[in-house]
Amino acid sequence: MTLTRRSALLAPALPLLLPQSAAAQTSFQEGKHYTRIQPAVPGTAGKVEVVEFFWYGCPACYAFETAIQAWAQRLPAWVAFRHQHVFFREQTRPHQRLWFTLQAMGVEHRFRGAIFAAMHAQRNPLDTPEAMIKLLQPAGLDVARFQSVWASFDPKAFSGARIAAANRQAAEQYKVSGVPALAVGGRYIFTVADAADRRQESPIGASALRLADQLLNSLRPT
């Protein structure tokens, strides 16, 4: 199944409620809960890299956000963590461009929570730059700079090639099939739904973070 079709199915696939004790008994299996990336994708030199693939408009990504941010805060120095917005259908294009724009400005972390809340709590699609500015300007967005950087990421512009390259890498190298997904060390990838084995759990993403810890421990530098 193509990235577009699978992602459309997996993006909203939220684990539901399962007692913590039962969720903690998960025995993770390659090929079932996670997939080996072949060939491995090079990451940050001297670090074991974890990449969260997401879409601002994905309900599961919104539900996972608090847990993944708290988890990232406690990672050891030998782990490098980053987010990567993906494209898997036309609806996601302006959101991915928004992410690239804010990343280039160095301010994505400041507005990430507001963007998620607007799309999911307020039902604001944020599908135009005007809507994005209206939301983010009161929170301190430099509008003139935003407009300039946004324009540079036009698909026809030179910088727009960075978005296309990121999409190819996600599809061809990481083989992202749905979101939220975690790639660990450029060697393993799994979605939050896969890690939960389609079962119900609380909190959302708890199994995925346990699996990420397990895979990180297997890659710990000696």
**pLDDT tens-digit map of 104-125:** 999 999 999 999 999 999 999 9
d(CA 190, CA 145): 36
The predicted-structure confidence for 134-182, as pLDDT tens digits, reads as follows 999 999 999 999 999 999 999 877 778 899 999 999 999 999 999 999 9
User: Is 22's pLDDT higher than 60?
Assistant: no
User: Is 214's pLDDT higher than 80?
Assistant: yes
d(CA 116, CA 72): 18
Q: Are 98 and 56 in contact (CB under 8 A)?
A: yes
User: Is 9's pLDDT higher than 70?
Assistant: no
Instruction: Answer left, alpha or beta for residue 185, where phi above 0 means left and psi between -120 and 50 means alpha.
Output: left
The average pLDDT across 67-74 equals 97
User: Is 20's pLDDT higher than 50?
Assistant: no
The average pLDDT across 6-20 equals 35
Residue 160, pLDDT score = 82
d(CA 34, CA 30): 5
Q: Are 65 and 116 in contact (CB under 8 A)?
A: yes
Of 10-14, 137-141, 197-201, highest mean pLDDT:
137-141
User: Is 17's pLDDT higher than 60?
Assistant: no
CATH number listed for the domain at residues 3-21+35-218: 3.40.30.10
Neighbours of 28 (CB within 10 A): 16
| pLDDT classification of 198: cutoffs 50, 70, 90 | low
Task: Output the CA angle 213-214-219, nearest 5 degrees.
Answer: 95
Which whole-number Å values give the CA distances from 3 to 68, 86, 93, 127, 138, in the listed order?
Answer: 23, 10, 14, 21, 36
| pLDDT classification of 84: cutoffs 50, 70, 90 | very high
d(CA 218, CA 221): 9
User: Is 205's pLDDT higher than 50?
Assistant: yes
